[in-house]
Structure 1
Amino acid sequence: MTANFLIGLREGLEASLVVVLLMAYLIKTGRKALIPRLWAGVGLAVAISLGFGALLTFGPRGLTFEAQEAIGGGLSIVAVGLVTWMVFWMARTARTLGGELRSQVDKAADGAAWGLVIVAALAVGREGLETALFIWAAAQATGETTLPLFGALLGLLTAAGLGYLLHRGVLKVNLGKFFTWTGVGLIIIAGGVLAYGIHDLQEAGILPGLHNLAFDVSAAVPPSSWYGTLLKGTLNFSPATTWLEAAAWLLYVIPVLFLYIRTNKAGPPKAKTAATTPAVTAHP
C-alpha cells in the first residue's frame, strides 16, 4: 500500500501540475473559454488510462499459468523501463516543462478546435498510462488485490488536492526536492518490481535458475508476518530470492541511483517550484 501510495502521489502530482500550468496559462492569456477543451482532454486521458488498467487486470485471465507469468514478467520489466525513463526525464526537463507546454497551447489554440483536447490528453495520458502499468506491476509483486489499489487511489486523490491548493496559491512546495526524493524511492521500488518480473519469467520457464536461491530467510522473515508484509509491500522484498533476482536488483538499483543522483546534482530542477511558477497561482 505504501509503495503504491508513493507511485500514485508522484505520478498524480505530475499530471496535476500539467493541468494547473495549462489552465493558468489559458487564464493569463485571456483564453478562459478554452478551459472546457482542456478538461475534455483530461477526461479522455483518464478514460484511456482506466481502460488500460482494466485490460491489464482482466486480459490475462483464462490463459495458462505459464502464459500469465510470461505476460506479467514482461510487463513488469516494461513498467520498470518506463518509470526509469520518467524519473530521468523529469530531472532533465523540469526547468523547461512550463515553456514547452505553453508553446503547445499556443499552437493548438490557433489550430483546430480539438487541438487543445489532444494536447491535454497526451500530456496527462502519458502519466496515466505509466501509472496504470506501474501500479499493476507493483500490485502483482505484492500479491495483494485491494490494498495496493487503495494506496494508489489515496495517492492520486492527495495529488489532486495538492494540485488544487497550488493553483489557488494556498500551498507553497519545493517541488524540485519533492520529485528528487520521490524519484529515489521509485527507483528502489522499481528494483523490487524488476526482481519480481524476473521471478515471473523464471516460473514461466523463460529464464533459468528458479530453484537456485541466493538466500532464504523465510524462517526469520515469514511472508505472512506483519514485517514480512511490510517489506513486501514497500520494497517488494522476497524472503526467498533467486540468484538471478538478486543480480537484477543490484545491477539495476546501484547504477541507476548513482546516475540519477548525479543528474540531479548537475542540474537541479529549479523551475519546478510553486514559488518560481507565478502562473500557477492565477485564478479568476
Structure 2
Amino acid sequence: MTANFLIGLREGLEATLIVVLLMAYLVRTGRRSLLPRLWAGVGLAVAVSIGFGAVLSFGPRGLAFEAQEAIGGGLSIIAVALVTWMVFWMARTARSLGGALKSHVDRVADGTAWGLVVVAALAVGREGLETALFLWAAAQATGETTMPLAGALLGLAVAAGLGYLLHRGVLKVNLSRFFTWTGVGLIIIAGGVLAYGIHDLQEARILPGLHSLAFDISAAIPPSSWYGTLLKGTLNLSPATTWLEAGAWLLYVLPVLVLYLRANGPTPQAAGSEAPTRDDVATPVAAP
C-alpha cells in the first residue's frame, strides 16, 4: 500500500499542478469562460485512464497461464521504462513546464472549442496512463488488488488536496526537493517491478533460470507474515529471488539512481538553496 500511495501522490501531484497552472493562467489572462473546456479535457483524461486500467485488470483473464505471465512480464517492463522516462523528464523540464503549457493555451484558446480540451486531456492523460500502467504492474508484483488501489486513491486524494492549497496560496512546498526524493523512491519501486516482470517471463518460459535462486529467505521472512507483506508492498521484495531477478534489479537500480541524482544537479539540500525551487510552481499557481 505504501508504494502505491507514493505512486498516486507523485503522479497525482504532477497532474494536479498541470491543471492548477492552466486554471491560474486562464484566470489571469481574462479567459475564465474557457475553464469548462479545461475541466472537460481533465474529465476525458480521467475516463480514458480508468478505462485503460480496467482493460489491464480484466483483459488477460481467460488466457492460458503462460500467456498471462508473458503479458504481465512484458507490461511490467514497459511500465518501468515509462516511469524511468517520466522521472528523468520531470527533472529536465520541470522549470520550463509552466511556460510550455501557457504557449499551448495561447495557441488554442482563440481557436476551436476542442483545442483547450485536447491540451488538457493530453497533459493530464499522459500522467493518468502512466499511473494506471505502473499501479497495475505494482499490484501484480505484490499479488494484491484491493490494498494497492486504496493506497493509490489515498495518494491521489492527498495530491488533490495539496494542489488546492497551492492554488489558494495557503501552502508552499519545495517542489524540487519533493520530486527529487519521490523520484528516488519510484526508481527503487520500479526495480522491484522489473524483477517481478523478469520472474513472470521466467514462468512463461521466455527467460531461463526459474529454479536457479540467488537467495531464499522465506524461513526468516515468511511471505504471509506482516513484515513480509510490508516489504513486499513497499519494495516488492521477493523472499525467493532468482539470479536473473537479482541481476536485473541491481543493473537497473544502481546506475539509474546515479544518473538520476546527477541529472538533478547538486544534492537536494544544495539545490534548494541555489534555485528558487519554492516558486517553480507555487508562485505561478497561486490564486489571483
TM range (shorter): over 0.9
- Structure 2 residue 278 is the aligned partner of structure 1 residue 273: yes
1:12–1:155 CA contact under 8 A, matched in 2 = yes
Query: Once superposed, what is the RMSD of the aligned Cα atoms?
Result: 1.4
Map of 2:83 onto structure 1? 83
1:279 corresponds to which letter in structure 2? P
For residues 1-284 of structure 1, what are the structure 2 equivalents within 5 Å?
1-265=1-265, 270=275, 273-274=278-279, 277-283=282-288
| 1:266 shift after superposition | 5.8
| 1:164 shift after superposition | 0.6
2:193 corresponds to which letter in structure 1? V
The one-character-per-residue Cα deviations of 1:26-74 (angstroms, maximum 9, x if unpaired) are 0010000000000000000000000000000000000000000000000
1:5–1:154 CA contact under 8 A, matched in 2 = yes
Instruction: Give 5+ residue unaligned stretches, structure 1.
Output: none
2:75–2:137 CA contact under 8 A, matched in 1 = yes
The one-character-per-residue Cα deviations of 1:67-99 (angstroms, maximum 9, x if unpaired) are 000000000000000000000000000110000
Give the secondary structure class of the aligned counterpart of 2:264. helix
Partner Cα distance (1:26, 1:272) in 2: 23
Give the secondary structure class of the aligned counterpart of 1:249. helix
The one-character-per-residue Cα deviations of 1:152-172 (angstroms, maximum 9, x if unpaired) are 000001100110111011111
Partner Cα distance (1:40, 1:276) in 2: 23
Partner Cα distance (2:81, 2:249) in 1: 13
2:231 corresponds to which letter in structure 1? L
The one-character-per-residue Cα deviations of 1:132-162 (angstroms, maximum 9, x if unpaired) are 0000000000001210010000000110011
| 1:275 shift after superposition | 6.7
2:59 corresponds to which letter in structure 1? G
The one-character-per-residue Cα deviations of 1:169-216 (angstroms, maximum 9, x if unpaired) are 111110110000000000000000000000000000000000000000
**How many corresponding residue pairs?**
283
2:4–2:138 CA contact under 8 A, matched in 1 = yes
Structure 2 vs 1, CA of residues 277 and 155 (structure 1 numbering), >3 Å: closer, same or farther? closer
Give me the identity figure in percent: 80
Partner Cα distance (1:94, 1:157) in 2: 22
1:187–1:256 CA contact under 8 A, matched in 2 = yes
Give the secondary structure class of the aligned counterpart of 1:45. helix
1:46–1:125 CA contact under 8 A, matched in 2 = yes
Q: Which moved more, 1:268-277 or 1:103-112?
A: 268-277
| 1:282 shift after superposition | 2.2
Give the secondary structure class of the aligned counterpart of 1:241. strand
Partner Cα distance (1:215, 1:174) in 2: 40
Q: Which moved more, 1:73-82 or 1:105-114?
A: 105-114
1:96–1:271 CA contact under 8 A, matched in 2 = no
Structure 2 vs 1, CA of residues 235 and 212 (structure 1 numbering), >3 Å: closer, same or farther? same
Give the secondary structure class of the aligned counterpart of 1:282. coil
1:271–1:277 CA contact under 8 A, matched in 2 = no
| 1:273 shift after superposition | 3.1
TM, length-normalised to structure 1: 0.97
